[in-house]
A and B are shown apart, each in its own frame.
Chain A
Amino acid sequence: MAENRPATRLEPKGAMGLDVEMDRAEHTLRRRLPRKLPKRNNDVYINMKTDFKAQLARCRKLLEGGGFNEICIHGLGLAINRAINVALQLQANSFGTLQIAANTSTVELVDDLEAEVDDEEPASRTRNNSAIHIKVYHSFSK
């Protein structure tokens, strides 16, 4: 299972939240969090754990009460779908004042394989996942 490939690690800042309870197996696969992301006040990251309505309300609040002319909605992997949905919902409820511009990218993710048996070496693997970045902005601002 574990290939002894040279560890291709990203910057150490990506390694966060690794204190999860281990289970008894040859290796434990731990997914690191995606590497450092832009977090301005008008960036919204969509995930699949938070309630959809809450995420939509948050975006709406930023655009209406927050005084932002544009927000950036990001979605990674499975959350791409939901990110698009949030953006389209915002646009549909804006009576034509909001515009959207979508961009796609690839994000490199790192998985750590931690040895549970003594003489196995820990390794890490990288894989790619798709992401979407949707800019939602008032059409008069551009």
Chain B
Amino acid sequence: MENFRKVKTCEEEGPLPFPGLPAGVVHMKVKEGSKIRNLMAFATARMEARATRQIVFSGCGRAVTKTVTCVEIMKRKLGGLHQLSKVQYRTLQEVWQKQGHAEQLTVDKYVPSICILLSKDSLDPGEPGYQPPEPRDRLWTLDGGLQDQRASLLPPQTEKRFWEPPGQERVNKKMKVQESPVDYRA
């Protein structure tokens, strides 16, 4: 392997792991050498426009940390954003060439990648990887796990919905709560 040199790497372009996104969604592809200030300058300018409802940040390999950092900065700056994070493996195709030879060797490399959707409109809270906008660092408190806290924090109502909730489920829950004390008294 010593005589081989990496000639090029190409990233396999797959579709985003979020079905039902509009076509013109802003997609920030974070790379290892991207500057956070450049990324954020562009992204915040786009997100400040009222028409932009969603933004996607994605990065793989060593850019994952930077991607998460960008998302965290964006959440802190704007507030009230619903988040959906997906992690997956992405294939990197590396072409290696032996020095002085024409023969090439193609290697598929699987690197961890992350895709994060930030939305001004509410998303499906049942989807794995969903985070409501309000509690920022409640994940780190001792009592109760991730799940217990999330159950008590339903996303607040917003004027427009990206995801339609299934009918009257929420209304029914409220009604049950009201009914139960009446039962006890009787």
Interface residues, chain A, CB within 8 Å of chain B? 35-40, 70, 72, 77-78, 80-81, 84-85, 87-88, 92, 99-108, 128, 130-135
Q: B174-185 toward A: CB 8 Å interface, digit per residue (1/0)? A: 000000000000
Closest Cβ neighbor of B127 among chain A residues: A101
Known contacts A101-B129, A107-B137; A38 and B112 CB within 8 A of each other: no
Q: Is the CB of B62 within 8 A of A104?
A: no
Q: Is the CB of A103 within 8 A of B131?
A: yes
Q: Is the CB of A101 within 8 A of B128?
A: yes
* Cα distance A40–B76 in the bound complex, in angstroms: 28
The A/B interface has a contact count, at CB < 8 Å, of 84
* Cα distance A131–B114 in the bound complex, in angstroms: 13
Known contacts A80-B68, A88-B112, A130-B69; A106 and B87 CB within 8 A of each other: no
Contact partners of A72 in chain B: CB under 8 A: 145-146
* B contacts with A, residue count (CB < 8 A): 31
Interface residues, chain B, CB within 8 Å of chain A? 61-62, 64-65, 68-69, 71-72, 76, 83, 85-89, 112, 114, 116, 128-131, 136-137, 139-142, 145-147
Known contacts A101-B128, A104-B131, A106-B76; A88 and B87 CB within 8 A of each other: yes
CB distance from A110 to the nearest CB of B (A): 14
Specify the main secondary structure of chain B where it touches its partner: mixed
A sample of 5 inter-chain contacts (CB < 8 A) reads A72-B146, A88-B87, A99-B128, A104-B71, A132-B68
Closest Cβ neighbor of B138 among chain A residues: A105
Known contacts A72-B146, A81-B112; A102 and B65 CB within 8 A of each other: no
Contact partners of A108 in chain B: CB under 8 A: 137
* Cα distance A70–B75 in the bound complex, in angstroms: 27
Closest Cβ neighbor of A106 among chain B residues: B72
Contact partners of A81 in chain B: CB under 8 A: 61-62, 64-65, 112
* Cα distance A134–B89 in the bound complex, in angstroms: 15
Q: Is the CB of A38 within 8 A of B64?
A: no
* Cα distance A81–B141 in the bound complex, in angstroms: 23
Q: Is the CB of A135 within 8 A of B147?
A: yes
* Cα distance A81–B110 in the bound complex, in angstroms: 13
Closest Cβ neighbor of A105 among chain B residues: B139
Q: Is the CB of B83 within 8 A of A104?
A: yes
Contact partners of A128 in chain B: CB under 8 A: 72
CB distance from A74 to the nearest CB of B (A): 9
